[in-house]
Structure 1
Amino acid sequence: MSDAPTREAMEYDVVIVGAGPAGLSAAIRLKQLDADLQVVVLEKGSEVGAHILSGAVLDPCGLNALIPDWKKKGAPLNVPVTSDAFFVLGEEGKVRVPNAVMPPLMSNHGNYVVSMGNVCRWMAEQAEELGVEIFPGMACSEIVWDGDRVKGVVAGEFGRNADGTEGPGYEPGMELHGKYVMLGEGVRGSLSKQVIAYHKLDADADVQKYGLGMKEIWEIDPDKHTPGKVVHTMGWPLGKNAGGGSFIYHLDNNQVYVGFVVHLNYKNPYVFPYMEFQKFKHHPMVAELLKGGKRVAYGARAITEGGYQSLPKTAFPGGVLLGCAAGMVNVPRIKGNHNAMLSGKAAAEAAHEAIQAGRAGDVLDGYDTEVREGAIGKDLKRVRNVKPLWSKYGLTASLTVGGADMWLQNLTGWSPLNVAHGKNDADSTEEASKHQEIVYPKPDGKLSFDRLTNVAFSFTNHEESQPAHLKLKDASVPVAINLPKYAGPSARYCPAGVYEFVGEGDAAKFQINFQNCVHCKTCDIKDPSQNIVWTTPQGGDGPNYPNM
């Protein structure tokens, strides 16, 4: 007999996992097409926007297609980009790359500096006005299968004890069934990962690549604040240790987004992405901007960076992958929200057509074709060589050859290059014996901060009595393999201080402080033994980003 809990089930036309820009766009478009469709959106954050973290300079093309009168309806796109600058940094100085040599697609003219959390909150209001049901605090922990078809999801399971047994207030959750299930979980979603593996959706794709994005919101001196100013940098402090760069976006209310991205294919296990970010803020250009200001929020999340060649098949029996669940970020532009919105719109249209034709639960091949051949595919295809060139040959090759390749595709729509990524990010990690330890400056508490202090500014919280949502395939691997072979990289690659090694030698123990987790998924991606599996904690747990 099965010991699975007995759950009630609710039936919908479409079940959407994740109230991000992709999931909400799908919900809105479905109700625009047919007001009678029963559509539900399930969000693991405590509220819509609580787990949304993005740069963000938003290309409004996705919103234009979905809600053409968004400005009239009060969408929070209030800060148009007013200037756009790109620098290559040295330790003390900087060199500006002239805007004239940048491919046209890199221009931010017509875009907006936004809080994507607030954009999603506004989109949720639009969805609810159309009759969409949105349930925040409802983590989706399991797929409901009907043979090979995804029939639905399990959401809202609460009350397990730390050892996994049912506690006194245990709630088994509910099954939500749909004619179609749309997975808009974002990067490395736990359900998306299962479906991709089960249906081998990535069989014909290149390996997926990722970056770790970290971000702080600062309130700065009004005399230094220029609403709409956009700055990107590359180079120092990463140098040859890792690929990546920074962004500095001036929004309204004297606030600035300061962000840093580290590509997760770095070789040296001593690289400490969080400390690279903190070090970056001491560059004279950045330190002068932030001097006298205060940091008011912090967060982190992984970014899908594989691009066009790494797209898995996006349709499967009974559902689709939306946005970053498939990987739709244009890496040179550091933008994916517009493609996420376009994917949600396209998925809704494909599902609506199938439901109208009585084809519920089949494979929406038309959606997959639209992703690859429509606006999303065109956006990703023309930049497909930039990231692998950077990974294989370094920053200079990415700037020169990658830049020339983007110019060629802009002018002709064609490129002779089709560069593959090679190893995945976990396999890119080399043994510690091949590298020297990197000594990072101690945070000064003014410009730079220790991880635990900063995590407090993510407002993250997890019910401590529940099972740890970070699972080890083999509990012996961290101490037996990762510590001696790779110098225990999880203590460094996590931007929230979740993992630590306590004691030394034979007395060493691996400790998981899951309460600190900001749901970035880096551990699931970068662990060299691929021993850590990120799963959803109880609904509502995790960060509570106010304005990210």
Structure 2
Amino acid sequence: MTNEELLSTYGPRESMEYDVVIVGAGPGGLATAIRLKQQAAAHSKEVSVVVLEKGSEPGAHILSGAIVDPRALTELIPDWKAKGAPLNQPVTEDAYVFLGGQGGSFRIPNLFLPPFANNHGNYIVSLGDVTRWLAAQAEALGVEIFPGFAAAEVLYTEDGAVRGVATGNMGLGKDGKPTDHFQLGMELLGKYTVFAEGARGHLGKQLIARYKLDEGRDPQSWGLGVKELWEIDPERHQPGLVVHTAGWPMDPSTYGGGFIYHLDGNRVALGFVTGLNYSNPYLSPFEEFQRWKTHPNVRWYLENAKGEVTGKRLSYGARAINASGINALPKFVFPGGALIGCNAGFLNVSRIKGSHSAIKTGMLAADAAFAAVTAGRQHDELKNYTLGFENSWLYPELQKDRNFKNWFRWGLSVGTLMNGFEQYVLRGHFPWTLHRKKPDYAYLKPASECTPIDYPKPDGKLTFDRLSSVFVSNTNHEENQPSHLTLRDASVPVDINLATYAGPEARYCPAGVYEFVDDGKGGQRLQINAQNCVHCKTCDIKDPTQNIVWVAPEGGGGPNYASM
């Protein structure tokens, strides 16, 4: 049944009204809520705020490296240390290493590292734990947080302004028909709605298209970050050490690199980011990450003195991240609402940091919304948010790193040299701007023009397969529900993607969602294992025909990341 038919049969939906509705209980969304309540208290006003979170709890879907620059957090909550914020491990040392294919490596002397590579004053954290702490701070201020409720639909006024969102219907069967447990979604109505869904938010994507917010901007660019959390031998653990790698296993023309972050408690976060503008359809970001771990400079941390893998993998996850820069930043205000954080693309790709910009943009949007609400306005554009960003410290930070990823279109050597020149020699002051012309999915070449990649089989100790990885991500969805991975045309995966591109969805997905299987008629069909989905959004980005559309599953489904 269509949503219109469900509403006609079971409607109308119940509704609740607030001054500000926030979609997403990540760092940005929670910072927005906290700032609104702080402003209300400072001005002796009442402002009602609600935050919707599709995960089972705040932090359940949060995945990041993560190194946090505390600048924005300090502005938001100056006494965060006294309040017990889980920023426990300061960065003690930076190391940038180029890896060679035969096990060799070269470390860049720290003297020659550009400013964006300096993590002095930053913290290695579990961003999920930070998010849970922020949620507690928000609730203490009177913010209502509804976990397990996915915002599935944007609601509009008659004149086209955003007036809120509706949560997804619960209790639909796989056939799309109501079961005995059916429950219609609820409408959350606000004078302003702030969208803080993270990278490639499915509602943010719709809003950008509806209001043409990206008109005249560069196409967005993305990377897929795949991460594991390990507990390692104390003798191989260096609390506060940050290692970034470039080079192997990527070929010189493919953007990507790894990270090794030493947290407290003998824990290490290992991850690899692959630029989703890669061209070879046989490439698998998940397998590249597994292969990267076999390099002597990486596996050393996971072994003991005898060369035995003694580290224990604790968790796994994957998430698409913005890698576009300010040149692709869309207009982020529209009638009745705003985009903040990675939902708009505020991540600083050169620093590999987006949490501080999510918190900062959340604060700026909150200031603009508070002023509008207390002035009696609603459903107009929060222009003061745009002005606030342009006058903030975040704008010049993103502006000086605007060319970072675009230099790598000429390969690793040119990208490294020119970024070093711009940032180390010119200190971010340069008159030129590089632009992108194609979205990531358009870079994929036909399989006939590319060489297949032979990835080694996992050993179950150092390297792993997708299904065992999904298991330790604690991913689960209600099995009897419509697939949230939808196809515009069911014939395209076999007739075009498989025939022309050798079925890249079976490789770019880091969770084993997509499989080409025997159709029983001498051919193949695409099988979608939606239960495995970790909500990384890669399929929505990289599908060469843009035939896959990610929509919200029932609230509470997806990964439940522990300390990621």
TM class, shorter-length:
over 0.9
- What is aligned with 2:177? 165
- What is aligned with 1:103? 114
Distance 1:320 1:336 in 2: 17
Question: Which residue identity does 1:477 align to in structure 2?
Answer: V
Question: Which residue identity does 2:546 align to in structure 1?
Answer: Q
Is the aligned partner of 1:511 residue 2:511?
A: no
Aligned partners of 1:13 and 1:39 also within 8 Å:
yes
- What is aligned with 2:307? none
Aligned partner (choices 411, 415, 418) of residue 394 of structure 1: 411
- What is aligned with 2:167? 155
- What is aligned with 1:405? 422
Aligned partners of 1:472 and 1:533 also within 8 Å:
yes
Is the aligned partner of 1:266 residue 2:278?
A: yes
Is the aligned partner of 1:425 residue 2:429?
A: no
Aligned partner (choices 84, 88, 94) of residue 84 of structure 1: 94
Aligned partners of 2:252 and 2:413 also within 8 Å:
no
Runs of 4+ in 1 over 3 A off after TM superposition: none
Aligned partners of 2:253 and 2:411 also within 8 Å:
no
- What is aligned with 2:306? none
- What is aligned with 1:298? 316
Question: Which residue identity does 2:251 align to in structure 1?
Answer: G
Alpha-carbon shift at residue 373 of structure 1 (Å): 4.3
TM-score with structure 1 setting the length:
0.98
Aligned partner (choices 493, 509, 521) of residue 494 of structure 1: 509
| Stretch moving more, 54-63 or 416-425 | 416-425
- What is aligned with 1:329? 347
Alpha-carbon shift at residue 376 of structure 1 (Å): 2.1
- What CA deviation, in whole Å up to 9, does each residue of 1:209-259 have, x standing for no partner? 000000000000011111111000000001236211011000011100001
Alpha-carbon shift at residue 105 of structure 1 (Å): 2.8
- What is aligned with 1:280? 292
- What is aligned with 2:78? 68
- What is aligned with 1:145? 156
| Stretch moving more, 522-531 or 89-98 | 89-98
Alpha-carbon shift at residue 169 of structure 1 (Å): 1.1
- What is aligned with 2:555? 539
Distance 1:323 1:409 in 2: 28
Question: Which residue identity does 2:512 align to in structure 1?
Answer: G
Aligned partner (choices 373, 377, 386) of residue 368 of structure 1: 386
| Stretch moving more, 115-124 or 33-42 | 33-42
Alpha-carbon shift at residue 32 of structure 1 (Å): 0.1
- What is aligned with 1:526? 542
Distance 1:171 1:408 in 2: 60
Aligned partners of 2:253 and 2:412 also within 8 Å:
no
Distance 2:37 2:136 in 1: 13
Alpha-carbon shift at residue 414 of structure 1 (Å): 2.7
Distance 1:48 1:281 in 2: 30
- What is aligned with 1:14? 20
Equivalent residue of 2:416, what SS?
helix
- What CA deviation, in whole Å up to 9, does each residue of 1:50-81 have, x standing for no partner? 00000001000110110011011110000000
Is the aligned partner of 1:461 residue 2:476?
A: yes
For the structure 1 residues 477 and 373, does the alpha-carbon distance in structure 2 shift closer, same or farther, using more than 3 Å as the test? farther
Alpha-carbon shift at residue 157 of structure 1 (Å): 2.2
Distance 1:531 1:365 in 2: 35
Superposition pairs for residues 237-248 of structure 1, below 5 Å?
237-240=249-252, 242-248=254-260
For the structure 1 residues 184 and 490, does the alpha-carbon distance in structure 2 shift closer, same or farther, using more than 3 Å as the test? same
Question: Which residue identity does 2:202 align to in structure 1?
Answer: S
Aligned partner (choices 130, 136, 140) of residue 125 of structure 1: 136
- What is aligned with 1:440? 455
Equivalent residue of 1:422, what SS?
coil
Question: Which residue identity does 1:203 align to in structure 2?
Answer: E
- What is aligned with 2:358? 340
Is the aligned partner of 1:358 residue 2:376?
A: yes
Aligned partner (choices 124, 128, 135) of residue 146 of structure 2: 135
- What CA deviation, in whole Å up to 9, does each residue of 1:258-305 have, x standing for no partner? 010000000110001100000000000111211211101000000011
- What CA deviation, in whole Å up to 9, does each residue of 1:434-463 have, x standing for no partner? 101110111111100011111101000011
Superposition pairs for residues 201-280 of structure 1, below 5 Å?
201-240=213-252, 242-280=254-292
Distance 2:419 2:115 in 1: 14
Question: Which residue identity does 1:71 align to in structure 2?
Answer: K
Distance 2:388 2:550 in 1: 30
Distance 1:118 1:378 in 2: 29
Distance 2:389 2:160 in 1: 23
Question: Which residue identity does 2:178 align to in structure 1?
Answer: E
Aligned partners of 1:386 and 1:403 also within 8 Å:
no
Aligned partners of 1:183 and 1:319 also within 8 Å:
yes
Q: Which runs of 5+ in 2 are unaligned?
A: 304-309
Question: Which residue identity does 1:196 align to in structure 2?
Answer: I
Is the aligned partner of 1:315 residue 2:333?
A: yes
Distance 1:100 1:544 in 2: 41
Aligned partners of 2:474 and 2:560 also within 8 Å:
yes
Distance 2:70 2:290 in 1: 31
Aligned partners of 1:22 and 1:344 also within 8 Å:
yes
Aligned partner (choices 158, 162, 177) of residue 189 of structure 2: 177
Distance 1:252 1:445 in 2: 25
* Count of matched residue positions in the alignment of Structure 1 and Structure 2: 545
Question: Which residue identity does 1:33 align to in structure 2?
Answer: Q
Is the aligned partner of 1:452 residue 2:462?
A: no
State the Cα RMSD in Å: 1.3
Aligned partners of 2:116 and 2:350 also within 8 Å:
no
- What is aligned with 2:126? 115
Aligned partner (choices 28, 48, 68) of residue 34 of structure 2: 28
Aligned partners of 2:196 and 2:340 also within 8 Å:
yes
Aligned partner (choices 38, 56, 62) of residue 52 of structure 1: 62
Aligned partners of 1:269 and 1:487 also within 8 Å:
yes
- What CA deviation, in whole Å up to 9, does each residue of 1:278-334 have, x standing for no partner? 000000011121121110100000001111000000101000001000011111111
Alpha-carbon shift at residue 2 of structure 1 (Å): 5.2
Distance 1:482 1:396 in 2: 32
Aligned partners of 1:117 and 1:546 also within 8 Å:
yes
- What is aligned with 1:197? 209
Q: Which runs of 5+ in 1 are unaligned?
A: none
